[in-house]
Amino acid sequence: MPPPSGVPPVETDRDPGLQPERTRLAWRRTTLTCLVTAILALRQAVRSGASALSVAAVGLAVLAFLAFLLVAHLRIQRLGAARPAAMPPPTALAVAACMLALAVFGAAVVW
Amino acid sequence: MSDIGRLRAARDSVLLWFAPARVQDEGTTPDYRFSLANERTFLAWIRTALALIGGGFAVDQFLTDHLTHWARLVLSLGLLAAGVACTLRAVNHWVRCERAMRLGTNLPVSRFPAALAVVVAVLAIAMVTVVLAGWAG
């Protein structure tokens, strides 16, 4: 519950809104969603037969997921601080790169 | 806002993607809780993008009885493209919100959620129609 207006919030080490915790869980949810998407991508490649293209595509999907896992893990560790810094922009760009890799790989196999 | 102003704003935000350290030079650092809320919103958009990308794979894998090869191709490439658009927009919106919070200006408004809602609704209606037609035929 927010403090009544006009009263400054009490400074403690623990954030009463549990913002870092919620942000950590958001990273976990997103990692899980990424895993499901990567598995669907793998299934796609398996169904289309063991050609060189689909083997390369499987490798790319696994790499994209592992890269996301690493980015999420590093960010979750940084969120353990008492006053975590804002997400660095390279983290956002790395996440976007993983998504693009999954989508481009998917488009290649669907095609 | 004029067209030129809009173009300039778009150019500035794309430049910000590639010189991200500049974001942290401007203005004052906001309360970390606001930054974390912005980060969670970014992640929620990334999950939306992942759902669209996964939907693209699912259409190609699970609608084989209902759709011809070309219809599946168009639908799944459309969903994948929507996922890519969603991802790029997530990064752009996150940078712009972070910057607005640092500079104390209004948060950016966007037509993107409405546009995405329309696209998803049209795709969903198209798929339901196709599947029902497949059952009837």
Per-residue pLDDT of chain B (137 residues; tens, 9 = 90+): 567 877 787 777 777 766 666 667 778 888 888 889 999 999 999 999 999 999 999 988 887 777 788 888 888 898 999 999 999 999 999 998 988 998 888 888 889 999 999 988 998 898 888 878 876 65
Q: Chain A closest CA to B122's CA: distance in Å?
A: 21
Question: Residue B51: helix, strand or coil by DSSP?
Answer: helix
| C-alpha closest to that of A109 among A37, A36, A55 | A55
Nearest-CA residue of chain A relative to B83? A103
Q: Which residues of B60-83 are buried (b: 16+ CB within 10 A; e: fewer)?
A: bbebeebbeeeebbebbbbbbbbb
AA letter at B119: V
Contact A103, B53 (CB under 8 A): yes
The number of folded domains in chain B is 1
Q: What are the E-state strand segments in A32-109?
A: none
Closest by Cβ to A30, choosing from B24, B37, B43: B43
Residue B8 lies in a domain: no
Residue B122 lies in a domain: yes
Phi-psi region of A39 (alpha: psi -120 to 50; beta: other; left: phi over 0): alpha
Domain map of chain A by residue range?
A: 19-110
Contact B90, B45 (CB under 8 A): yes
- Compute the distance between CA of residue B50 and CA of residue B130 in angstroms, rounded to an integer: 24
Residues of B in contact with A107 (CB under 8 A): 77, 80
- Compute the distance between CA of residue B108 and CA of residue A71 in angstroms, rounded to an integer: 27
AA letter at A32: L
Q: What is the mean pLDDT of residues A29-51?
A: 86
Q: By the CB < 8 Å criterion, does B101 face chain A?
A: no
| DSSP designation for A83 | S
Contact A111/B77, CB-based, under 8 Å? yes
pLDDT at A13: 62
- Compute the distance between CA of residue A67 and CA of residue B52 in angstroms, rounded to an integer: 20
Closest by Cβ to B39, choosing from A33, A87, A102: A87
Nearest-CA residue of chain B relative to A81? B32
Query: Two tokens at B33?
Result: 């809780």
- Compute the distance between CA of residue B50 and CA of residue B44 in angstroms, rounded to an integer: 10
Q: By the CB < 8 Å criterion, does A40 face chain B?
A: yes
| C-alpha closest to that of A92 among B82, B98, B103, B31 | B98
Closest by Cβ to B40, choosing from A26, A34, A96: A26
Query: Two tokens at B10?
Result: 């778009």
Q: What is the residue range of B121's domain? A: 30-136
Q: What does the pLDDT look like over A62-92, one tens digit per residue?
A: 899 999 999 999 999 998 887 888 888 889 9
